[in-house]
Chains A and B, each alone.
Chain A
Amino acid sequence: MGLWSKFKQTTLYKSIYRNEYPDTPRNQVLVILNSVVLHLHPVKVPRRAIRVSYTWGLGGLSLLMFLILTVTGVWLMFYYVPAVPDAYFSVQALETDVIFGMFSRNLHRWAAHGMVLAVWLHMARVFYTGAYKPPRDFNWAIGVVLFTVTVLLSFTGYLLPWDQLAYWAIQVGSNMAGSTPFIGKQVRFVLLGGYDIGLPTLVRWYTLHVLLLPLAAIVLMAVHFWRVRKDGGISTPIPYEDEEETAPAPEPQPLGGAAD
């Protein structure tokens, strides 16, 4: 008996997992029902809905990057000081004095860009596969809000290193928001916590970045995933009748005139 099989007989293993290893149909069902993470899934899924070439796993990858960002973000918070100009020096110290500091900052940065990209591509995928159609209409709308929250999360994080790149990117961005018709000045004032980018801006954006926007994202994601299940799971093909009847059977195409 191997070590793994022995471990599976121990009280510890049995106390953690609520059923035996999922290698029989019964346990394959139970593992989904019994696990807090896996129970987001249905027990069975349509084979053609889970092809990688159908979804490209983009929704899942967005979630994965959100998780990476949460873990690395908490790590960064241990060292980051939300003050002017200490913020800049704390990021510098993180890069040079902290073990894996540079790596975790890099991971946070690249995952942030990756998440914006993945969410955008996920939206394109859902659009081009017609997966927004009823009954998934409302979930599409939630998705659009989630896209907005993702961009805002990324943008609020952009200011935090308090370097030239951050400062001037936020200058450009807040000036754009400041051109809102009629209430532009007020919008800019609320965003910056004053008339110029300064400590109040940093504190506001820091709070939004580490607290309010992640919470909003989590709540919206919970609804988003729940609705995926309630609205019938990953979409499966509903063809137009005439497409089915008149669609010619795919014929093998001759290659470069070599056939005949």
Chain B
Amino acid sequence: MAQPTPKYQQAGPKVKPAEKEEMVYTWPYLVSIEAIMAIAMTLALSLMSMFVNAPLLALANPEQTPNPAKAPWYFLGLQELLLHMHPALAGVIVPGAALLLLAMIPYVDRDRRGTGIWFSTRKGIPITIFSWVYTWIWELVLILIDEFWVTKDAAGQEIKGIERHLTFWLNDLFPGMVKIGVGWEWLGKILLPSGLMVAIPWILAEIVRRRWKANTREVMIALGTFYFASFVLLTIIGTAFRGHSMLLMWPWEVTPPE
């Protein structure tokens, strides 16, 4: 007897056929929701446009650099990274890697179970909360150290931040290297931040695996939360807490661009 052509199967364990879904007509059940949301959103945007004007500053002047010069808000997270690491890392490699890794998520997490359920499993919410707090604590501590760790060298020159300290110590420890022209900046600017950006999520995944016996989806939730929480925190700090000379300050001390 001829076998029926096997249906194109996705990888992963067999999925129990879903119970019969309760179906409703698109008209009016979905169309009405869409219409209401569209009207509400259009109304909200129109109201905002009546009362809040889009900014238009003075004519562009290449001679007059504003302080601080900031990118649009969705890039301020990257601009924040720029303060802590090599520009190639902050401006190109990190965002590139972030997008690539995001796109790869479903090619790692191939199990269809957990689809269509907020946080997928009962462990999902605790893992999300833990990952969010874990990420924010790590990043806040690192940013604060980089900003406020200031010491002076023998000549009275200020040394500020993790990278400069590292460079200073290494140059001090291995003066011979500087003589033959090897600086240690790359260690502080490239190696250390890259290492941290791999280690922090790596440790997070390990904690989640051990403490919650997390499956692939739950590890993905932890790592995805690392990305979302980082984006939110860095964007908030870059937008509201970086003022003159990109120094850390309270939002009410940050002057709006003129």
Q: Which A residues form the contact surface with B (CB < 8 A)?
A: 22, 25, 28-29, 31-32, 38, 41-50, 52, 54, 57, 60-61, 64-65, 68, 85, 88, 91-92, 95, 102-103, 105-111, 113-114, 116, 120, 123-124, 127-137, 140-141, 144-145, 147-148, 151, 154-155, 158, 161-169, 171-173, 175-177, 179-181, 184, 196-197, 235-241, 243, 247
Residues on A with C-beta less than 8 A from B118 are 54, 128-129
| Structural contact, A106 and B54, CB atoms closer than 8 A | yes
| Structural contact, A133 and B41, CB atoms closer than 8 A | no
Contact of B41 among A25, A28, A64 (CB under 8 A): A64
- 12 interchain pairs (CB within 8 A)? A28-B27, A46-B21, A57-B37, A61-B37, A110-B48, A110-B49, A127-B105, A127-B228, A132-B105, A164-B66, A165-B56, A196-B62
Residue of A nearest to B81 (CB): A176
Say yes or no for B58: interface residue by CB 8 A criterion. Answer: yes
User: Would A133 and B22 be within 8 Å (CB), given that A151-B74, A237-B117 are in contact?
Assistant: no
- Interface-forming stretch among B91-99, B157-165, B201-209? B91-99
Residue of A nearest to B50 (CB): A103
| Structural contact, A135 and B79, CB atoms closer than 8 A | no
| Structural contact, A141 and B103, CB atoms closer than 8 A | yes
| Structural contact, A172 and B70, CB atoms closer than 8 A | yes
Interface residues on B, range: 35 or more
| Structural contact, B27 and A161, CB atoms closer than 8 A | no
Contact of B31 among A38, A46, A129, A164 (CB under 8 A): A38
Q: How far is the CA of A91 from the CA of B54 in the complex (A)?
A: 11
User: Would A164 and B25 be within 8 Å (CB), given that A68-B42, A106-B48 are in contact?
Assistant: no
Q: How far is the CA of A131 from the CA of B114 in the complex (A)?
A: 8
| Structural contact, B15 and A128, CB atoms closer than 8 A | no
| Structural contact, A68 and B45, CB atoms closer than 8 A | yes
Closest 6 CB pairs of A and B: A176-B91, A137-B106, A167-B60, A179-B87, A106-B49, A109-B54
| Structural contact, A110 and B54, CB atoms closer than 8 A | yes
- Interface-forming stretch among B119-127, B134-142, B147-155, B173-181? B119-127
Contact of A240 among B53, B75, B110, B113 (CB under 8 A): B113
User: Would A175 and B87 be within 8 Å (CB), given that A32-B26, A130-B217, A165-B257 are in contact?
Assistant: yes
Whole-angstrom distance between the Cβ of A101 and the nearest chain B Cβ? 11
Q: How far is the CA of A110 from the CA of B50 in the complex (A)?
A: 11
Residues on B with C-beta less than 8 A from A31 are 27
| Structural contact, A57 and B57, CB atoms closer than 8 A | no
Interface centre among B23, B99, B115 (most CB of A within 10 A): B115
Whole-angstrom distance between the Cβ of B83 and the nearest chain A Cβ? 12
| Structural contact, A144 and B23, CB atoms closer than 8 A | no
Q: Which B residues form the contact surface with A (CB < 8 A)?
A: 10-12, 15-16, 18, 21-31, 33-34, 37-38, 41-42, 45-46, 48-50, 52-62, 64-66, 69-75, 78-79, 82, 86-88, 90-93, 99, 102-103, 105-107, 109-122, 124, 128, 217, 221, 224, 228, 231, 257-258
Residue of B nearest to A91 (CB): B56
| Structural contact, A105 and B54, CB atoms closer than 8 A | yes
User: Would A48 and B117 be within 8 Å (CB), given that A106-B49, A196-B62, A241-B16 are in contact?
Assistant: no
Whole-angstrom distance between the Cβ of B116 and the nearest chain A Cβ? 4
Residues on A with C-beta less than 8 A from B12 are 134
| Structural contact, B70 and A164, CB atoms closer than 8 A | no
Residue of A nearest to B117 (CB): A237
